[in-house]
Amino acid sequence: MTEASDLASAYDLVVIGGGPAGLAAAALAARAGVSTVLFDENPGVGGQIYRGITSTPLKKRAVLGEDYWAGAELAAEAKASGALIVTGATVWSLDPTRQVGVSIAGKARMIEARRVIIATGSLERPFPIPGWTLPGVMTAGAAQTALKAHGLVPNGRVLLAGCGPLLWLLAAQMLRAGARIEAILDTTLRANWLRAVPHLPDFLLSPYWSKGLALLREVRAKVPVIPIERLSARGEGKLQQVDYVSRGKDSRRQADVLLLHQGVVPNVNLANAAGVAHRWNERQICFEPVLDVDFGSSVPGIAIAGDGAGIAGGTAAAERGRIAAIAAVRALKPSASVPDPQSVRQKLQREELGRGFLDTLYRPADAFRLPEDETIACRCEEVTAKQIRDMAAIGCEGPNQMKAFLRCGMGPCQGRLCGLTVTELIAASRHTRPADVGYYRLRPPVKPITLAELASLPISEAERKAVER
Amino acid sequence: MFKRLGDTADTLTIEIDGKSVRARSGDTVAAAMLANGIDHCRTTPVTGAPRAPYCLMGVCFECLVMIDGVGSRQGCLVPVRDGMRVETQQGKREAGR
């Protein structure tokens, strides 16, 4: 186990996040002879897509599918590359001078980086429905993590709800593992099928086409799929019942577990706090960093690879990591030999081909992004959609002002689970665009640290003399 | 709320609110709580509503628990250790916890 005191004070390249983008980037850079450290806050590498890849208790490969096991090669390559890989390492700060604040087992260090690749990936889009804070309601990704990393499957009456590729993949994996799913409540808008048709030719050329079709067939053969327009979770102290409207008709089902999913969005927190410029992506309805062709951001020396650069999936993430790493190596050590970036770009293009279709087909309906009045938008501070609309109506123009009025986005999750909802609610109330409303201004520490961790930072003689008399 | 698949074994013991429970080496605290049927891991500081792990990937902060005396740890990011003491959090934090 690497401890904080084992770290050097500076590295050529610091990679933050050990999913496909981070692993591929670290492996390429370290093999080129660049001193590289990779930090990941989870107990093992793999990110979310390859979660538990080096430790999963699932021995039957068919349960998670071959696409999952492809992650083992990435993890092995990174391990063999000579990069220092540190798990259980939480990066809580990154500034424009590329000073990285990291905590390992309760001890903090500040590390200088000549280059940084942020590979912190995505998180599931907020899914604010009535009752989504009840125990028993979780994200589909959470159930997938429980399965991959811990060999756990949901028990009792289990419902899945939402839209997007991950929902179908999770359903297939759960069924293969022997779990029972009562029904899938499908929120895909029928009108989206027509809108997605122009993107169909590209999608047919992408690797997702045949895989997606096979998944849909596998799941639909075993689980009823119910199209729905409205959804709420009910229960005293925990989930007991799910209410929904299907083709205009009210229905309800008893339920113990409800798994929600409506796509993933870039996890912008660390990049935002580092001062990286972001813009609104209307097709993916989320903020994404402004990047150049090498995934370099507006802050010199900081690149963002993987789904954090805009959603494109796990295999695209690895190619993006390689492109960012090639740029870093060329800047740090021009004499080193690196793969031809053009060939990597071509692979990436093929991986990204299917996105237009998926983004359009699975664009979440307004009803599931702009919740009704009494629905909680900010889970941490328990702020409702009505409170946000009321404040917008009396003149609150943006999310940062909204913090001062309502404390939304100021709880421990730092806006991760409410940021997009708050931006979109304000935009809708004020008849403007999310791009004009903007996002929370985030500041370090982007993950909570204790005073003891801060106090464990090494102090130089000069720093001590500056405060001691 | 969750059950273990057949091909996994329980191998160590942790304490949750004073009660000994079995966990698998490699579990996170949040996974061990789910596997043991703990139906909530905290109540909120604002209204006292019960919350359980929601994302299991370190972004929602619903699984905050006290671990070996340190409050507000993210249960989904901390691996279990034999003899670990986990306590659910009720409402607001008290000073020093």
The CATH number covering residue B79 comes to: 3.10.20.440
B58 min Cα distance to partner chain A (Å)? 8
The answer to whether the beta carbons of residues A140 and B55 sit under 8 Å apart is no
Assess whether A140 and A250 both reside in one domain: yes
- Count of structural domains within chain B: 1
Phi-psi region of A363 (alpha: psi -120 to 50; beta: other; left: phi over 0): beta
Mutate to test the interface with B, among A152, A257, A375, A382 (most CBs of B within 10 A): A152
pLDDT at B93: 74
Which residue range is the domain that position B24 belongs to?
A: 12-87
Sheet order of strands, A249-254 included: A230-234, A241-246, A249-254
Place of tokens 């903007």: A438
Asked if residue A408 is part of any domain, the answer here is yes
Task: Enter the DSSP assignment of A157.
Answer: S
Helix axes A419-429, A385-393, angle to 10 degrees: 40
Residue A216 maps to which CATH number? 3.50.50
Tokens of A230: 């409205």
Q: Given this model, what pLDDT does residue A80 score?
A: 98
Confidence of residue A237 (pLDDT cuts 50, 70, 90): very high
pLDDT value of residue A208? 85
Asked, for residue A115, whether it belongs to a domain, the answer is yes
User: Average pLDDT for residues A325-347, to the nearest whole number?
Assistant: 96
Give the per-residue pLDDT at A467: 83
Q: Least CB-CB distance to B1: which of A59, A136, A145? A: A136
Structural domain of residue A415, as residue ranges? 370-437
Would you say residue B7 has pLDDT above 70?
no
Of A214, A229, A255, the residue that ends a domain is: A255
Interval A298-323: pLDDT, tens: 999 999 999 999 999 999 999 999 99
Counted domains in chain A: 3
Beta-carbon separation of B53 and A142 below 8 A = yes
Contact B31 A149 (CB under 8 A): yes
Task: Reply yes or no on whether the pLDDT at A460 is more than 90.
Answer: no
Percent of chain A with pLDDT over 70: 100
A385 and A291: one domain? no
pLDDT of residue A464: 84
Q: Which residues in chain A are closer than 8 Å to B47, comparing Cβ atoms? A: 382
- pLDDT per residue as tens digits for the range A377-427: 999 999 999 999 999 999 999 999 999 999 999 999 999 999 999 999 999
- Indicate yes or no: CB of A256 within 8 angstroms of CB of B44: no
Mutate to test the interface with B, among A40, A42, A138, A407 (most CBs of B within 10 A): A138
**pLDDT tens readout for residues A187-235:** 999 999 999 999 999 999 888 889 999 999 999 999 999 999 999 999 9
Rounded mean pLDDT of A117-121?
98
**Is residue B2 situated within a structural domain?**
no
Residues A138 and A247 grouped into a single domain:
yes
| Token couple for A165 | 């590729």
Q: Do B61 and A412 touch (CB under 8 A)?
A: yes
Q: What are phi and psi of A10, to 5 degrees?
A: -150, 145
The mean pLDDT value for A127-150 works out to 98
CB atoms within 10 A of CB A293: 9
Same domain? For A102 and A193 the reply is no
> How much is the average pLDDT of A316-341?
97
Minimal CA separation from B69 to chain A, in Å: 13
CB contact under 8 A, B77 and A267: no
The string of pLDDT tens digits covering residues A273-291 is 999 999 999 999 999 999 9
Contact A416 B59 (CB under 8 A): yes
pLDDT level of residue B6 (50, 70, 90 thresholds):
confident
Helix/strand number for chain A, H first, E second: 18, 22
Q: CB under 8 Å to A404, separation ≥6 — which residues?
A: none
Does a structural domain hold residue A310? yes
Residue A340, number of CB atoms within 10 A of its CB? 9
The verdict on a CB contact (< 8 Å) between B5 and A137 is: no
- Nearest by CB to B55, which of A60, A124, A136? A124
DSSP letter string, A197-235: GGGHHHHHHSTHHHHHHHHHHHHHTTS-EEE-SEEEEE-
Tell me whether residue A46 is exposed, middle or buried, using C-beta atoms within 10 angstroms of its C-beta: 0 to 12, 13 to 18, 19 or more.
Answer: buried
Q: pLDDT of B21-71, one tens digit each?
A: 999 999 999 999 999 999 999 999 999 999 999 999 999 999 999 999 999
**pLDDT above 70 for B96:** no
Q: Which DSSP symbol is given to A126?
A: P
Average pLDDT, chain A: 96
Can you state the angle between helices A385-393 and A399-406, rounded to 10 degrees?
A: 110
Find the mean pLDDT for residues A451-463. Answer: 90
Question: Are residue A275 and residue A225 in the same domain, yes or no?
Answer: no
Mark yes or no for CB contact B77/A42 under 8 Å.
yes
A80-115 pLDDT, tens digit each: 999 999 999 999 999 999 999 999 999 999 999 999
Q: What CATH number should be reported for the domain holding residue A379?
A: 1.10.10.1100
Q: What is the pLDDT of residue A243?
A: 98
Strand partners, B64: B74
pLDDT at A343 over 70: yes
Per-residue confidence (pLDDT) for residue A459, from 0 to 100: 87
Is residue B8's pLDDT more than 60?
Answer: no
User: What's the average model confidence in pLDDT over A438-455?
Assistant: 94
Chain A: closest CA distance from residue B92 (Å): 12
The span from the CA of A192 to the CA of A455, in Å, is: 53
Residue A136 corresponds to which amino acid? G
Q: Distance between CA atoms of A240 and A256, rounded to whole angstroms?
A: 6
Q: Which residues of B touch A19 (CB under 8 A)?
A: none
3-state secondary structure of A5: helix
Least confident of A59-63, A260-264, A464-468: A464-468
Point out the domain boundary residue: A214, A236, A255: A255
Query: How distant is the Cα of B78 from the closest Cα of chain A, in angstroms?
Result: 7
Please judge whether A135 and B24 are an interchain contact, meaning their C-beta atoms are less than 8 angstroms apart: no
Beta strand spans in A155-299 (E):
158-163, 183-186, 225-227, 230-234, 241-246, 249-254, 257-262, 264-266, 278-281, 286-289
Token pair, residue A389, equals: 């609309």
The residue with tokens 């496909």 is A20
Q: Identify the three-state secondary structure at position A186.
A: strand
A305 closest CA partner among A47, A49, A119, A115: A119
